[in-house]
Amino acid sequence: MNEIAVVKSELEIRFPDAVRKDDREGFQGYIVEKESLVEVATALRDDFGYDYLTSVTGVDYIEEDILEAVYHFYRSTGGKELVLHVQTPRNNPVIPSLYKIFHGVDFQEREAWDLIGIKFEGHPDLRRILLWEGFNGHPLQKDWKEAFYVEEKKPFDNRWPEGKIQQIEELNKFGKNVRYPENFHDPESWKPEHEDLLYAGLLDLAEKTGSGLETDHVVINMGPQHPSTHGVFRMAVVVDGETITALKPVMGYLHRNHEKIGERNTYIQNIPYTDRLDYISSLSNNFGYAMAVEKLLGYTNEIPERAEYLRVIMAELTRISNHLWAIGFLLNDLGAYFTPSLYAIQERELILDIFEEVTGARMMNNYHRFGGVAKDILPDAMKKIENLVLDRLPRKVDELDKYLTKSELLQSRTEGVGVLTPEDAINMCAVGPVLRASGVPYDVRRADPYSIYDRFDFDVAVRYHGDTYDRYLIRMDEIHQSLRILQQALKDIPEGPILLRNPYNIKAPKGEAYGRVEGPKGELGFYIVSDGTSNPYRYHVRSPSFINLTGLEKMCVGQKVADVVVILGSIDIILGEVDR
Amino acid sequence: MAEKNKITVPDELKSTVAVTDIQEVFDGNLIEKAYNWGRRNSVWPMFFGLACCAIEMISTAASRFDLSRFGMEVMRPSPRQSDLLIISGTVTKKMLPAIVRLYNQMPEPKYVIAMGACASGGGPFKEGYNVIAGIDKYLPVDVYVPGCPPTPQALLFGLMKLQEKIDNQKISETSWYDKENAGDPIPIPVLGPDIMDPKDFDKIRKQAKG
């Protein structure tokens, strides 16, 4: 009996009434009674070592009339997942919050409340997160229909009635993408119920952390249009003089409804959408999604050898280009206006050239397929990759290293700024470079190896101070490690087929699957539930940027206003992935 | 001026060099020409990225494609200092009030480029419940740049088209020096149960009754 099986049977023995095996077809893990969820989760963390709760997903099973929350637990020392399902009736969907045990569920529970409508009892700040207060309904419930609703599932039959294209605008009363509740008649005096909760909560926090002196707190809104928020991110900051006393991230300004659209799409139609999640590392997103669907389909061990190598080569090139970009723009945030990032972008452009040659697009690569990849790397492009990996990139990265790493200005602005302790990092489900810079050597490529990463010789980069400087250094380290992997992959890549079988029109068997990869920003997971048709029943993205932001407040409180920008830059968020 | 003394400007310099002669002064075109020549070569875009297209916009500004060849490298983070709003990505309902506000704050003459499929018409996310299917439903758009995302070359072409547009504008016909017809600010949409355009308030009331 392996280790996980031992834990599972012990769990059943310890909580005989509360925990039962999930025996639905294709499902794994346990169904936990909601009354004892907190107790079971505490035991998992303290006694079984599952101290790393990475993903919380809400699912609407409308036919069974239940809403379900799915929890994916891991050990921070590595290993496979343990999945808990908690069910609640649809007419009164309440589940106890795990906020007190795992701070990392903060945003994820708010997201499940916002989009699915599960109330998490005991969550201190259960507001909408991606949409705004007052929005009508919970859009990921299966009976909620968008304004441009056509049919449940693609491909739509009505797109060509009698050979004539029908514009979706013609079907809408207002001719645009809006729909109002039927009894809504007073737009002028509209005032949503909880609109001022954000500021009320913020000032409340500021009071608690105040020094006791009667001082005025000022609320500053940074963003959504701000040159250093890396997109349309907004932070509501309370300052006491120059010092930050409270901070709340506000997001959703780029919420593009990936999940609702993804559940209408067929499986293959979702691949180009994953490109647009973390839009500067598209190939990693493709990878994660393809892996999750392959798990459903049972392809995992049949992927052709060459395809696996191509996937790894492209993923590692993506990581390098992402980290170059992140470093360049971190320096931008520090005030080294555009000079370092111009050097970084120069190298990134060369990597993009390779992507363009291989996949046909600079950014939106749409490259992975279920069971392989779409196109082979031709000898010409291979030559370019070799030149880049063996010669140019090591030189150029050393050059960046030489001018930046020991720079006194960089050090004095970043050392000791925005510290995240390892305990906090694990508790807040931080992933990727943010987690590893805090001294936790957790890398999905090693902790739960996927694809062919177990064949390569590389180190998990880890740094121990948890400050902004270490988060900068760790990206440098990871570029070096990626170059190592690439050098081995380029040497060993075999000839052969690149695709298992035709990936179009697949029907996935019933069940659930969670595929995760170590993207450049951290663990990127896709949770998919299939009902046996050619469209996913539930499609959820566990995005690293989004959940890494949980730690932002902790890192920023007590720092100066000018450092907030730098700390945010060091987390390296991409808004397409934060808001999805 | 005699024919043999006529100055010929090489094609690649035509956009940056203005050649004029005394005849144009008599015709009254000189001011127009100088005015447009100055404006077309110093368009300051707003430093404002929305989504994926913003990355390509930054790449365009970087050394390989080099926006400064067009006099456009001075990206201003403040709308008060910028002439051009590049809508670089998907416009969501939650973001729309902020964008309309930014546009209203820009001084005339101002231009809008809808960069990419999303800004032009909703793109792949058109059916989304939080997505505006094209910024042109709210702001006047001067140039549409297709692509998802448009390559830097495509954006540069879009900017050159904008320069052409500027070249052909006449001071006597533009609205921004005209006291009577100077445009009103665009009404700012409100986040209700769904996004509400103040222009649609009547329709919303009607739908509730009927």
Residue boundaries of the structural domains of chain B: 3-37, 43-209
- How confident is the model at residue A24, as a pLDDT? 86
Q: Cα dihedral sign for A263, A265, A269, A275? A: negative
- Range in A225-234, B142-151, B176-185, B194-203 with the lowest mean pLDDT: B176-185
pLDDT of residue A170: 81
What would the mean pLDDT of A18-33 be, rounded to a whole number? 86
Q: Taking residues A539-546, what's their average pLDDT?
A: 91
Residues of chain A contacting B57 with CB distance shorter than 8 Å: none
The chain-wide mean pLDDT, for chain A, equals 87
The H or E element containing residue B56 is helix B52-61
Note the ipTM here: 0.89
DSSP assignments along A366-383, one per residue? --EETTEESSPPPHHHHH
Residues A27 and A164 in one domain: no
Structural domain boundaries, residue A274: 258-579
The whole-number pLDDT of residue A205 equals 64
The mean-pLDDT minimum among A11-20, A100-109, A126-135 falls in A11-20
Residue A235: count of CB within 10 angstroms of its CB: 24
Is 70 exceeded by the pLDDT of residue A285?
yes
Of B95, B127, B132, the CB nearest to A146: B127
Residue position matching structure tokens 């830097």: B152
pLDDT digits (tens, 9 = 90+) for B88-112: 989 999 999 999 999 999 988 899 9
Shared domain for A50 and A148, answered yes or no, is: no
pLDDT band at A207 (very low <50, low <70, confident <90, very high): low
Question: Is A1 a residue whose pLDDT tops 50?
Answer: no
A517: which strand partners?
Answer: A524
pLDDT at A580 over 80: yes
Q: What is the mean pLDDT of residues A386-393?
A: 91
Considering only CB atoms, A181 lies closest to which of B124, B193, B196, namely: B193
On whether residue A228 sits in a domain, the answer given is no
Comparison of pLDDT for A227 and A518, the residue scoring more:
A518
Stretch (H or E) spanning B43: none
pLDDT at A323 over 90: yes
Question: Do A45 and A151 fall within a single domain?
Answer: no
User: Residue A366's closest chain B neighbor by CA?
Assistant: B148
A549 within some domain: yes
Host H or E run for residue A580: none
Question: If contacts are CB pairs under 8 Å, which of residues 114-153 in chain A contact chain B?
Answer: 130-132, 134-136, 139, 146-150
Q: What pLDDT digit, counting tens, does each position of A407-443 carry?
A: 888 889 888 888 999 999 999 989 999 999 999 999 9
Confidence of residue A169 (pLDDT cuts 50, 70, 90): confident
Question: Tell me, what's the pLDDT at A386?
Answer: 92
pLDDT at A212: 58
Helix (H, G, I), strand (E, B) or coil at A84: strand
Residue A527 belongs to some domain of the structure: yes
Question: A211 pLDDT exceeds 60?
Answer: no
In a shared domain, residues A283 and A159: no
- pLDDT, residue A4, reads 66
Task: Determine the average pLDDT of the residues in A347-365.
Answer: 91
A541, pLDDT greater than 60: yes
- What is the per-residue pLDDT for B23? 74
Inter-residue contact B145 to B111 (CB < 8 Å): no
**B43-209 CATH choice from 3.90.650.10, 3.30.1240.10, 3.40.50.300, 3.40.50.12280:** 3.40.50.12280
Alpha helices, H only, A105-196: 105-115
Share of chain B above pLDDT 70, in %: 92
**Pair (A373, A519) in one structural domain:** yes
Minimal Cα–Cα distance from B21 to chain A, Å?
41
CB of B116 within 8 Å of a chain A CB? The answer is no
Assign A198 a pLDDT band (cuts: 50, 70, 90).
confident
B209 falls in which pLDDT band (50, 70, 90)? Answer: low
Q: Sorting pLDDT into bands at 50, 70 and 90, what band is A488? A: very high
Binning pLDDT at 50, 70 and 90, where does residue B5 land? low
- B196 to chain A, minimum CA–CA distance in Å? 8
pTM of the complete model? 0.90
- Is 60 exceeded by the pLDDT of residue A356? yes
Domain end among A152, A169, A191: A191
Q: Tell me which of A2-11, A344-353, A364-373, A385-394 is least confident.
A: A2-11
Q: Report the pLDDT averaged over residues A9-37.
A: 85
CB distance A410 to A472 below 8 Å: yes
Mean pLDDT of A99-124: 90
Please report the pLDDT score of residue A208 as a whole number: 60
Count how many domains chain A has.
3
Indicate whether A82 and A157 sit together in one domain: no
**pLDDT score recorded for residue A540:** 93
Q: Are A113 and A163 in a shared domain?
A: no
Q: Does A345 touch chain B (CB under 8 A)?
A: yes
Tell me if chain A has a CB within 8 Å of the CB of B73.
Answer: no
Q: Are residues A483 and A569 in the same domain?
A: yes
Read off the pLDDT of each residue in B176-183 and give the average, rounded to a whole number. Answer: 74
Substitution target from B47, B50, B52, B139 for chain A, most A beta carbons within 10 A: B52
Category of B28 on φ-ψ map: left (φ > 0), alpha (ψ -120 to 50) or beta:
left
**Does the CA dihedral A557-A563-A569-A574 come out positive or negative?**
positive
Q: What is the DSSP letter of A391?
A: I
Which of B82, B91, B94 is the best substitution to test chain A (most A C-beta atoms within 10 A)?
B94
User: Which alpha helices (DSSP H) does B68-209 contain, by range?
Assistant: 96-105, 116-121, 152-167, 201-209
> What is the average pLDDT across A207-225?
71
Q: Tell me the C-alpha distance between A564 and A228, whole Å.
A: 10
Longest dimension (CA), chain B: 77
Which helix (H) or strand (E) covers residue A129, if one does?
Answer: none
Which of A75, A100, A103, A73 has its CA nearest to residue A86? A73
Question: Do A46 and A187 belong together in one domain?
Answer: no
Q: Which pLDDT band holds residue B122 (cuts at 50, 70, 90)?
A: confident
> In this structure, are A151 and A114 located in the same domain?
no
What are the CA-CA distances from residue B160 to residues A156, B81, B142 (Å)? 39, 21, 12
CATH number assigned to the domain comprising residue A24: 3.30.460.80
Mean pLDDT value across chain B: 85
For residue B1, pLDDT over 60 is answered with no
**Pairing relation of β-strands A234-240 and A243-250?**
antiparallel
CB contacts under 8 A, A 231-250 vs B, are 231-232
Pairing of strands A243-250, A368-369: unpaired
Average of per-residue pLDDT across B121-131? 89
- How many residues comprise chain A? 580
Tell me whether residue A287 is in a domain: yes
Interface test with B, best of A152, A253, A574 (most B CBs within 10 A): A253
Q: Examine residue A207 and state whether it is found in any structural domain, yes or no.
A: no
H/E run at residue A66: strand A66-74
**pLDDT, average across residues A9-23:** 82
